[in-house]
Amino acid sequence: MKHIFIVNPNSGKGSGKEKIVPEINEYCTKNGLDYLIHETTCAGDGMNFARQMAETGEHVRLYACGGDGTLFEVVNGAYGHDNAEVAVIPLGSGNDFVRTFGNREELCNVEAQVNGTPIKLDLIRCGDKYAINECSMGMDAEVCAKQIYFKKLPVFNGETAYTASLLWAFTKRVKSTFTITVDDGEPFTDDFLFCLCGNSRWYGGGYKGAPLALPDDGYIDMILVRKKMNRLKILTLINKYKAGQHLDWEITTFKRVKKVTVHSDRLAAVNIDGECEYVNDSTFEMLEKAINFVVPANSTYIEDRKSGKLSGEKDEFKR
């Protein structure tokens, strides 16, 4: 097997690369591994390189060394190639998807990643893109999309761009009117704060948007939160939402589904693992066991799934 480390040199403001690349070289050289390190040079480079390596037909393990954006690119490059496995060494600021598998220190252990166990995980298809974590439309997607816009302006950095986009969305796009169809059922129309389709639990830098989702259960966790309150009331709920305490709200619909279609008469942002665009229609569809994902050797994920500690059921909160 060839070990291919796809490193985003900008993750962690560059400090992640400085630490992990010497560790990769030391461990792989010491253990005689067939490996290479590729530093990405621009957006899309990680996806293209991952696809190029997967298309060789050789058994390859592709390590996404960066943040959630790097993981998105590697997953989309590896998808459709059963000879390719995806591992994650989290160097970004959010690293939301891999929170289910352990903490950052554990996941940045090169030895544990090399000796990890590949399992089959689900993906969510949206058009020609594939999400391993979460997709959404509504206020949170508008914030994500607008943040990308503000980051391009010279007066903003990452944090101030997020603040500016949050203020913009809170005044301009707090409500979205969507027509939603679930599993080819009857469509329904309402005013929503957002529609979230989760394959895993966290997004947005620590928001537990889909608090019971599991990436290997064959279902999308669909969470719809309706706009039935004023802006001041919404502000009081943000911390509860971040902590994942929103599934029992009267304004929330939570359901496990296979497909969700969202229509908006007005152009609306769609967020696909942090990649955003503006559309009128989106379809989020479950793809079961669609990617080979490496669970690091020091993670308890496989054991926790077998024991029921990670069950995806509401009684999990009680333990």
pLDDT digits (tens, 9 = 90+) for 305-318: 999 999 888 766 54
| Sequence letter at residue 28 | C
| pLDDT tens-digit map of 175-191 | 999 999 999 899 999 99
CA atoms within 13 A on the CB side of 257: 21
Domain ranges of the chain: 2-116+296-318, 131-288
Q: Thinking of the domain 2-116+296-318, which architecture would CATH place it in?
A: 3-Layer(aba) Sandwich (3.40)
Residues 6+ apart with CB under 8 A from 56: none
What is the CATH topology of the domain spanning 131-288? Answer: Tumour Suppressor Smad4 (2.60.200)
Rounded Cα–Cα distance for residues 291 and 86 (Å): 8
Rounded Cα–Cα distance for residues 94 and 261 (Å): 28
pLDDT at 145: 86
Q: Which residues of 91-130 are buried (b: 16+ CB within 10 A; e: fewer)?
A: bbbbbbbbbbbbeeebbbbbebbbebeebebbbbbbeebb
pTM (2 d.p.)? 0.93
Residue 63: CB atoms within 10 Å:
26
| pLDDT tens-digit map of 211-266 | 999 999 999 999 999 998 888 888 888 889 889 999 999 999 999 999 999 999 99
Rounded Cα–Cα distance for residues 183 and 185 (Å): 5
79, 312 Cβ separation under 8 angstroms: no
264, 142 Cβ separation under 8 angstroms: no
| pLDDT tens-digit map of 20-70 | 999 999 999 999 999 999 999 999 999 999 999 999 999 999 999 999 999
